[in-house]
Structure 1
Amino acid sequence: MARRLLLMHAHPDDEAINTGVTMARYAADGAQVTLLTCTLGELGEVLVPELEGLAAERGDQLGGYRIGELSAAMAALGVTDHRFLGGAARWRDSGMMGTPGNDDPRAFWRCSRDAAAFDLAVEQAVAVIREVRPQVLVTYDEIGGYGHPDHIMTHRVAMAAAERAAQPEGAGEPWAIAKIYWCAVPKSVLQRGIDALRESGGVGFDGVERAEDLPFGNDDDQITTAIDGRAFSAAKQDAMRAHATQISVDGPFFALSNNVGLEVLGTEYFRLARGELAGERDENGRERDLFAGIDA
């Protein structure tokens, strides 16, 4: 069976943080892995001092620069098919909820109140689905993991596109996606990471000492699937380093890799939103393979 995996993410770097080892594992196993990124991340904070002039409030060239970062990250993960929804810069980073970036004419979040814009974004995603014909789609949950408007909109567009792509209307042959997963992180895993950082003299994530106080994370019983990608942890770290304007090598991700080894970064977790759980389960009763139960 030719396995085809489509991942929809909001900004460059989201794919490496949330699904880096999953992408690397399936690419190495010979699956077709396609990344569809919805914006260029133009409003991201620039962490490299000599590149601060790229920021939106200055040169507003960060989005173009991040195309190169994403290409380098994909090379690290072994992924050759990466695209932008509607083409590069069709949809602009909306910024955090309630900020002026939400109102930009090209802001992806504009799709939340402009029916024509939403329909266009869905059609653009449908075109990719019908071309790639993935058996598995990975995206975010209803709150986009932590409430970022572009993550929420990515979820809405992805789910609507999956529905529409299976219908007979429109250009291209209909395609029904067998399994849809939402990215997830168990709170127990977050807590182990926080504890490890604190024990090594750190202060956890932004000073937070309890996973319950973070704006992201899932109750453990929500997790249906765990992908063991420990063999690809180095590739994930290289992909994150490629997003240098957004991820600091001194940040919590790399501290975690030093303090708790492969446990936190080497396994990625998901919630099955559509389809049937199948195949072997791990010691926690979680599915081990996104493609389990898919025959063709």
Structure 2
Amino acid sequence: MSDRPLTLMAVHAHPDDEASGTGGLLARSAAEGVRTVLVTCTDGRCGDAPDGTKPGQPGHDPEAVVAVRRAELAKSCGILAVSQLELLGYGDSGMMGWDTNEAEGSFWTTPLDEAADRLAALMRRERPDVVVTYDENGFYGHPDHIQAHRITVAAIDRLADDERPAKLYWTAMPRTTMDALISRMTEAQQQEQQEQESEQGGRSEDGGPRDGDIPPLGLPDEAISTWVDIREHTDQKFDALSAHASQPDNAFFTALGRAEFARLLGVETFVRVRDTTGAPLPEKDIFAGLR
């Protein structure tokens, strides 16, 4: 074993992805003395403005959104005790099919070699023992998540054998957890609908999700290789998500309240795809075999 502190590198697409996907892992790792390096690939310009203005709507100022999201990211990193933040600075590509996918400077249009070379240089400098990013579908098909996956794999393949991380993981969610979240989300939507009906004195036609509307999401539980208990750090994850207040997608999670948030999201899960340690699976420690 080396005297050098263990280093974790998380490669994420946007400001706030670090909190939703790996907030607990980053906080737990820092508390255990692991050096944590967060790579954020895009500037988040296709996010909502603080007043709720959507991309493409009048009044949406991408540069102002970038500034707000950069400040939110810095606050989140402080909460999660991230050792080092690296910004690649590519333009947020927006959701798949948006015109912004093809905008000049977007991450989606960036040549793979260019971005992979930059990330490989960071890896050579930081020497991560463990790298975490998304699977080949970017977890849910977002072009920037897919591109983050691609450049991470390509960057590692550029490294010499003695420079490569010992372990590589994809973020993942077991189907049981996803089903519980969908159930809770449906319940919240139904409650909101009932409140609207009461205010309107009638019945709304929009009944929210129905059976069959939502395809199966997440992975079968047996496909998950790594289950990391983050219950001691769910307050940090909750606060990190809250720091990204300009993005309404986080509101559902923070609306759960701390207790239910910890109950539903007290474990972060991953799929191990490369390993040189021989640590047995399933595992409860992403650094198993390294300490």
TM class by smaller structure: 0.7 to 0.9
- C-alpha distance in 1, partners of 2:118/2:249? 33
Given that 1:43 and 1:56 are in contact with CA atoms closer than 8 Å, whether structure 2 keeps it comes out as no
Does residue 94 of the first structure (1) align with residue 93 of the second (2)? Answer: yes
1:214 CA drift (Å): 5.1
Q: Secondary structure at the match of 1:38?
A: strand
Residue number in structure 1 paired with 2:61 = 59
Does residue 128 of the first structure (1) align with residue 122 of the second (2)? Answer: yes
- C-alpha distance in 1, partners of 2:278/2:256? 30
1:240 CA drift (Å): 0.6
Residue number in structure 2 paired with 1:114 = none
The residue type equivalent to 2:239 in the other structure is D
Given that 1:44 and 1:55 are in contact with CA atoms closer than 8 Å, whether structure 2 keeps it comes out as no
5 Å-filtered alignment, 1:206-221, equals 207-208=208-209, 213=214, 216-221=217-222
Does residue 186 of the first structure (1) align with residue 174 of the second (2)? Answer: yes
1:197 CA drift (Å): 4.8
Q: Structure 2: give runs of 5+ residues left out of the alignment.
A: 193-206
The verdict on how the C-alpha distance between 1:290 and 1:231 changes in structure 2, with shifts beyond 3 A counting, is same
Structure with more of its chain in helix, by fraction: 2
Q: Secondary structure at the match of 1:213?
A: coil
1:3 CA drift (Å): 0.8
Q: Secondary structure at the match of 1:95?
A: coil
Given that 2:47 and 2:55 are in contact with CA atoms closer than 8 Å, whether structure 1 keeps it comes out as no
When normalised by structure 2's length, the TM-score is: 0.84
Q: Could you report, residue by residue, the CA deviation over 1:67-109 in whole angstroms, capped at 9, with x for unpaired residues?
A: 1110000111111301112xxx3x1011111111011110111
Residue number in structure 2 paired with 1:141 = 135
Residue number in structure 2 paired with 1:171 = none
Does residue 23 of the first structure (1) align with residue 23 of the second (2)? Answer: no
Given that 1:16 and 1:239 are in contact with CA atoms closer than 8 Å, whether structure 2 keeps it comes out as yes
- C-alpha distance in 2, partners of 1:228/1:23? 12
The residue type equivalent to 2:72 in the other structure is E
Q: Structure 1: give runs of 5+ residues left out of the alignment.
A: 112-116, 168-173, 280-284
1:225 CA drift (Å): 0.4
Q: Could you report, residue by residue, the CA deviation over 1:105-144 in whole angstroms, capped at 9, with x for unpaired residues?
A: 1011113xxxxx2111001000110011011000000000
Q: Could you report, residue by residue, the CA deviation over 1:199-255 in whole angstroms, capped at 9, with x for unpaired residues?
A: 57647xx94467992585222221100110111111111111111111467x32124
- C-alpha distance in 2, partners of 1:123/1:224? 29
- C-alpha distance in 2, partners of 1:209/1:286? 35
Given that 1:16 and 1:236 are in contact with CA atoms closer than 8 Å, whether structure 2 keeps it comes out as yes
The verdict on how the C-alpha distance between 1:292 and 1:259 changes in structure 2, with shifts beyond 3 A counting, is closer
- C-alpha distance in 2, partners of 1:60/1:241? 21
Q: Secondary structure at the match of 1:260?
A: helix
The residue type equivalent to 2:103 in the other structure is D
5 Å-filtered alignment, 1:68-79, equals 68-79=71-82
Residue number in structure 2 paired with 1:33 = 36
Given that 1:26 and 1:33 are in contact with CA atoms closer than 8 Å, whether structure 2 keeps it comes out as yes
Instruction: Provide the identity percentage.
Output: 37
Q: Could you report, residue by residue, the CA deviation over 1:258-279 in whole angstroms, capped at 9, with x for unpaired residues?
A: 5735132221110001115626
Q: Could you report, residue by residue, the CA deviation over 1:39-87 in whole angstroms, capped at 9, with x for unpaired residues?
A: 01101123x32x74998863222112211110000111111301112xx
Does residue 241 of the first structure (1) align with residue 242 of the second (2)? Answer: yes
1:155 CA drift (Å): 0.1
The verdict on how the C-alpha distance between 1:234 and 1:177 changes in structure 2, with shifts beyond 3 A counting, is same
Given that 1:278 and 1:292 are in contact with CA atoms closer than 8 Å, whether structure 2 keeps it comes out as yes
The residue type equivalent to 1:265 in the other structure is L
Given that 1:187 and 1:212 are in contact with CA atoms closer than 8 Å, whether structure 2 keeps it comes out as no
The residue type equivalent to 1:32 in the other structure is R
